[in-house]
A and B are shown apart, each in its own frame.
Chain A
Amino acid sequence: AQSVTQLDSQVPVFEEAPVELRCNYSSSVSVYLFWYVQYPNQGLQLLLKYLSGSTLVKGINGFEAEFNKSQTSFHLRKPSVHISDTAEYFCAVSESGGGNKLTFGTGTQLKVEL
């Protein structure tokens, strides 16, 4: 069975600084990887996804992530954050042939400060 680890529960960062949110996964088969964002009192919105092909994927709001198979990682990055990026970020994995059964990490609270 797959699992996802988000080591950082909270990441404080100043506005316009770069940020990286870490995600590691474990699976014995091919996986699909996702980052979702959740703003306060809202549902989840897909930021980006890795299905196959290029290991660098670009998403909405200037975010990007790199799939590293050897390190089983899918870290999320943004070169310059904005106050509006303050939210909870969830990394998720589903296994190829797993019937869209998403497994979420525990989430990382990104807090952008002035």
Chain B
Amino acid sequence: DTEVTQTPKHLVMGMTNKKSLKCEQHMGHRAMYWYKQKAKKPPELMFVYSYEKLSINESVPSRFSPECPNSSLLNLHLHALQPEDSALYLCASSQGVSDTGELFFGEGSRLTVL
């Protein structure tokens, strides 16, 4: 099983809503990532978890709150978002953070903030 599964595939929310994006992998990987991708742009790293601990936060606004309940799951909690936060949010995993940089990506959750 070499899949990274993300839910929901599409999410529409208002600026006052609270919602969550979920990501799951069963490859035994110990590092998980959140990327944000705006239209026609490359993915931008948001967060990295290594062994269920946050290891990198790329100065992401606090309205995005990551959580890693266990080594297979990664959540991104969303609250008080802005319309400019509308984007494709990609989850990825890798065996660790000290190996060769090969990441496995999910298909993404497309978020629209009204």
Contact = CB atoms under 8 A, between A and B. Distances in A.
A102 B45 contact: yes
B100 A43 contact: no
Interface size class, chain A: 20 to 34
Contacts of B107: 42-43
A100 B42 contact: no
Interface string A78-103: 00000000000010101001111110
Interface string A31-61: 0101010000111111001010000000000
B97 interface: yes
B99 A100 contact: yes
A5 to B, nearest CB: 12
| Best-buried of B6, B48, B56, B103 by chain A (most CB within 10 Å) | B103
Interface string B91-105: 010101111111111
Dominant secondary structure at the A interface: loop
Interface size class, chain B: 20 to 34
A58 to B, nearest CB: 16
Contacts of B42: 90, 104-107
B90 interface: yes
Given A100-B48, A101-B56, A44 B43 contact: yes
A32 B102 CA distance: 9
B15 to A, nearest CB: 25
A100 B43 contact: no
Nearest to B110: A41
Interface of B: 4, 6, 31, 40-43, 45, 48, 55-56, 90, 92, 94, 96-108, 110
Given A100-B96, A100-B98, A101-B45, 6 more contacts: A32-B100, A41-B110, A43-B107, A99-B55, A102-B103, A107-B41
Q: Which 9 A-B pairs have the closest CB atoms?
A: A94-B101, A104-B42, A43-B105, A43-B107, A44-B105, A99-B97, A32-B101, A100-B101, A100-B97
Interface of A: 32, 34, 36, 41-46, 49, 51, 90, 92, 94, 97-102, 104-107
